[in-house]
Amino acid sequence: MQEDRQLLVARISAEIRALTNLSEVCEWLIERQHKPVRLDAEHLPALGRHSWLRLDRPITAPRAVLCTLSLLDEVDARICLLAGTLRFVAHPVASDVRLSFDGRALRTGQGDRAARQILELIASSIERPRNLSAAG
């Protein structure tokens, strides 16, 4: 049975830089902590389906913020499309933040691409808060 599970999930990771700071990151994460964000298929072309982005309470450190992230299928919320750790690390002297994601995804062959698309979407949303709307 464990062999079947290994066939269904793949390890994924992605990393990008964003022009933001950790206080904006924390504010964005806290605002969405209890409000899943609905993503349309065009937000994540790598997966090509509607989904809900859930973020847990952020954990902060002097130059970093950690948070768990899960992406649930819109039709059946019991299906987790991907899940893992979202990490924001501030540069010691520059004004940008490195975003990274490490986790697992349903094996689609597009997991790393989907992780990168999520990071780009989150970065642009923090920079321009109206890009993602929370569920009512």
Is residue 75 domain-resident?
yes
Is residue 101 domain-resident?
yes
User: b vs e for 38-68, b when ≥16 Cβ sit within 10 Å of the residue's Cβ?
Assistant: bbeeebbebbeeebbbbbeebeeeeebbbbe
Q: Does the predicted model carry a pTM greater than 0.85? A: no
For the stretch 84-104, pLDDT in tens is: 999 999 988 888 899 999 999
Tokens read off for 90:
């501030």
Is residue 136 domain-resident?
no
* Contact yes or no for 99/118 (Cβ under 8 A): no
Is residue 135 domain-resident?
no
CA pair distance 82, 79, nearest whole angstrom? 9
Is residue 56 domain-resident?
yes
pLDDT grade for 109, boundaries at 50, 70 and 90: confident
What's 67's domain CATH number? Answer: 3.30.530.20
Is residue 82 domain-resident?
yes
Is residue 118 domain-resident?
yes
The residues that bridge with 11 in the sheet, in sequence order, are 104
Number of domains the chain is built from: 1
For the stretch 18-70, pLDDT in tens is: 999 999 999 999 999 889 999 998 998 988 889 999 999 999 999 999 999 99
For the stretch 9-19, pLDDT in tens is: 789 999 999 99
One-letter amino acid for residue 17 of the chain: R
Q: Which domain holds residue 42?
A: 2-129
